[in-house]
Structure 1
Amino acid sequence: MIRLLLLFRVADAVRNATVRWPLSAHTGTHHIQLWVGQPPVLQTLILDTGSRLSAWVCEPCPHCGQHQSARYYDPLQSSTSSVTLKVHGFSDNNTTTCQFPVSVREQSQCLLQQHYTEGSRWSAYEVTDLVTLSVGHDEDDYEASLPYSTVAFTFGCQTKLTGLFTKQLADGILGLEYSEFSFLSTLRDHGILSLNEAETSPDAFSLCLTPTGGWMALSGALLEKHQTPMLHATLNRQTTKGMYSVIVQAIWVGTLCLTCDETTDEFIQAFATGRGTILDSGTTDTFLPQALADAFQEAWEEQTGRQFTERTGSYTEREWKRLPVLTLVFEPGHVNITIPPEHYMERKAGGTNIWSNRIYVDEPEGAVLGINAMMGHDILFDWKRGTIGIAPAQC
């Protein structure tokens, strides 16, 4: 009875989100669409809880590849745009200070760059314009979107891309790490996300992801999709600047716990090194600490009768059914994420029995829980309150 009462109170403490947007997915990456400028241009952006800057391709960008949008945003063609510093073709009344702490003031522009772990990077200059999150997926949704989230927002106007950014479907990226210059902070500052902070912080948001899309919701969770009440893990805000780092207390491979005796303290410490263990919606796969590799291999073989491999392999129906569920337990100890094989294994196209394992046990510091770890849960990111809400959900 005490346990049931605790869960009831936890569920009561979570506000149901009243504003939500549909997401789409392509090759393992989840996207949201927004309108930029006047006349409005529809842009498709990666949702990335693992980075803080927002930027998308702008005209002209001759070496930026082909992306989702029929046309790129052009600040010179928008009647509501302003560049942070004076650029040829803009009026003299533009602002004169850089908005982003990471920007470099160089002659007539505030320039910024972003590098990512897998090697991609982009260069951009700061622009401010009207931005509206789209409630749908096509050109007819602009008027319906206007009442919810139209704000003047400062972002990066990309002029150069390298690596995966030149090949991806998305036009750019929406950084969802906590920072005072994020899109969610801008919505909060304009009063769009104001509510009683005793329930949920104004700039909290939840992601409920599926292989084909899902939902993003603001200032609350998607309670109607929850299969059990939402529980709250503690964020480690000491080692990260805005990143959503959880504190791992245990990891299970099927029915075997890798961290449940005194000799495995080093494994728990491995989850906490570097940035710690971050929830990163901009990463498709999951990367566990390299320090666990031998123990993970041994547990995998005991559970499946097969050697663990990160390469493509063939599995019979019987072998598939024996693949373990991975479970990570977070502080304060009763909160967990479960990763079933249908999320961490990817079937080769054509309906064959050939699968690719998308769990890697090779991260040199900490761990990265990507989209395949987050799927099947509604996850509430609340930096101000220092918690990550997790509930199994039908997204």
Structure 2
Amino acid sequence: MASRGWRRPLASLPALALALLLLAVAAAAAGSPDRTAPSRPPLVLPLTLSYPNASRVASSRSRRGLAEGGHPSARMRLHDDLLTNGYYTTRLYIGTPPQEFALIVDSGSTVTYVPCASCEQCGNHQDPRFQPDLSSTYSPVKCNVDCNCDSDKSQCTYERQYAEMSSSSGVLGEDIVSFGTESELKPQRAVFGCENSETGDLFSQHADGIMGLGRGQLSIMDQLVDKGVISDSFSMCYGGMDIGGGAMVLGAMPAPRDMVYTHSNAVRSPYYNIELKEIHVAGKPLRVDPRIFDGKHGTVLDSGTTYAYLPEQAFVAFKDAGNVSQGSNPTQGDFHGHRGSSRPTTGRSPRQFG
């Protein structure tokens, strides 16, 4: 995530980020070949609302909004801690019997990991740490030519450095992973990280760990697709600031008739990306050269990043247009953001891009 501490972001950035993320969902479905039969049941996971001052009325409205939604498989809620930390989480259950964890859903990275019971440098998080000894189905991933190994050359390890200067490292294990009682998908064996060290915002965050949804061998998505238990697509839908939460579906689901798709070029970038042409503020396009969006990776859609990042030319035009559009509504306050490098970074990705 680009920033864990809450700073006031650009006033219209949440809407932009949401629009881009919804495009990413379509891109993932349109840009990847379906490696499994279309009849595979989708896996639906919740992202949950957790506003610090949320009322029971607001929570009830969130439940009603999801219950009245379209396809039945999308009725599980996402959890969000958007106002405090700027991320969305889902619940994942690991082991036999299941141990429960709140994980940040991150389309910009690949490894799913939780704090290990033996971790000596892990913060205090939402749930107890994972205890491999209490799971009858846990097994370590033994050292092999395809992984980095621990000092004893007995178990595979992982290490990730993130753009906001936090890090995570530990060993790789395999266990039964389940996705909640409302999921149509049965529990599956999957490889995940058992964290032995974390630094920076990862150490202080409330969520237990990360659920990596990016493209890569260790991605929970790729593992399920390679097993042939879900189709090669996933979807996220955010409830918005006034409702919160949302839903996440791993696997295919019927698309609305008016769905607009855009291509995501997996050859160009390992990240989910789109070709951004223009940005509109208050119905008017920004006067910027569209070539400024044509970086190495295009425009990356990253559910684990708090802020939207723009090249400086687009940022200035976006800020100025936002201030103009709010000029007739003084209750909205000034439209502002944080000017930084025009080199965008993805928060929950081990690599920077530009």
8 Å contact from structure 2 (residues 108, 346) kept in 1: no
* Alpha-carbon distance change, 104 to 256 in structure 1, aligned in 2, over 3 angstroms: farther
Shift of 1:320: 4.5
**Map of 1:114-263 to 2, 5 A cutoff?**
114-135=160-181, 148-193=185-230, 202-210=231-239, 211=241, 212-221=244-253, 229-241=258-270, 243-259=271-287
**Map of 1:370-385 to 2, 5 A cutoff?**
none
Which whole-Å CA distance do the structure 1 matches of 2:171 and 2:201 have between them?
A: 20
What is the letter of the counterpart of residue 247 of structure 1? E
2:106 equivalent to 1:48:
yes
2:317 corresponds to which of 295, 314, 317: 295
Runs of at least 5 residues in structure 2 that lack an aligned partner in the other structure: 1-25, 31-37, 48-78, 349-354
Q: Secondary structure at the match of 1:288?
A: coil
Q: Percent identity?
A: 29
Shift of 1:149: 3.6
What is the letter of the counterpart of residue 265 of structure 2? N
Q: Secondary structure at the match of 1:148?
A: coil
Q: Where does residue 310 of structure 1 map in the other structure?
A: none
What is the letter of the counterpart of residue 247 of structure 2? W
Runs of at least 5 residues in structure 1 that lack an aligned partner in the other structure: 1-9, 86-95, 136-143, 194-201, 306-316, 322-353, 371-395
Q: Secondary structure at the match of 2:309?
A: strand
TM-score in terms of structure 2 length: 0.68
2:126 equivalent to 1:68:
yes
Shift of 1:104: 4.5
TM-score in terms of structure 1 length: 0.62
Shift of 1:111: 1.9
Q: Where does residue 319 of structure 1 map in the other structure?
A: 330
8 Å contact from structure 1 (residues 277, 367) kept in 2: no
Shift of 1:282: 0.5
What is the letter of the counterpart of residue 97 of structure 1? N
8 Å contact from structure 1 (residues 124, 160) kept in 2: yes
Count of aligned pairs? 275
Shift of 1:368: 6.3
Q: Where does residue 38 of structure 1 map in the other structure?
A: 96
Which whole-Å CA distance do the structure 2 matches of 1:272 and 1:300 have between them?
A: 23
* Alpha-carbon distance change, 128 to 257 in structure 1, aligned in 2, over 3 angstroms: same
Higher strand share: 1
Which whole-Å CA distance do the structure 1 matches of 2:236 and 2:265 have between them?
A: 19
8 Å contact from structure 2 (residues 112, 192) kept in 1: yes
* Alpha-carbon distance change, 126 to 363 in structure 1, aligned in 2, over 3 angstroms: same
* Alpha-carbon distance change, 273 to 57 in structure 1, aligned in 2, over 3 angstroms: same
Which whole-Å CA distance do the structure 2 matches of 1:369 and 1:44 have between them?
A: 18
CA RMSD of aligned residues (A): 3.1
Q: Where does residue 155 of structure 2 map in the other structure?
A: 109
Q: Secondary structure at the match of 1:286?
A: coil
What is the letter of the counterpart of residue 181 of structure 1? L
Q: Where does residue 97 of structure 1 map in the other structure?
A: 144
8 Å contact from structure 2 (residues 163, 346) kept in 1: no
Largest Rg, 1 or 2: 1
Q: Secondary structure at the match of 1:296?
A: helix
* Alpha-carbon distance change, 60 to 18 in structure 1, aligned in 2, over 3 angstroms: closer
Which whole-Å CA distance do the structure 1 matches of 2:292 and 2:346 have between them?
A: 12
2:45 equivalent to 1:21:
yes
* Alpha-carbon distance change, 293 to 21 in structure 1, aligned in 2, over 3 angstroms: closer
8 Å contact from structure 1 (residues 111, 125) kept in 2: yes
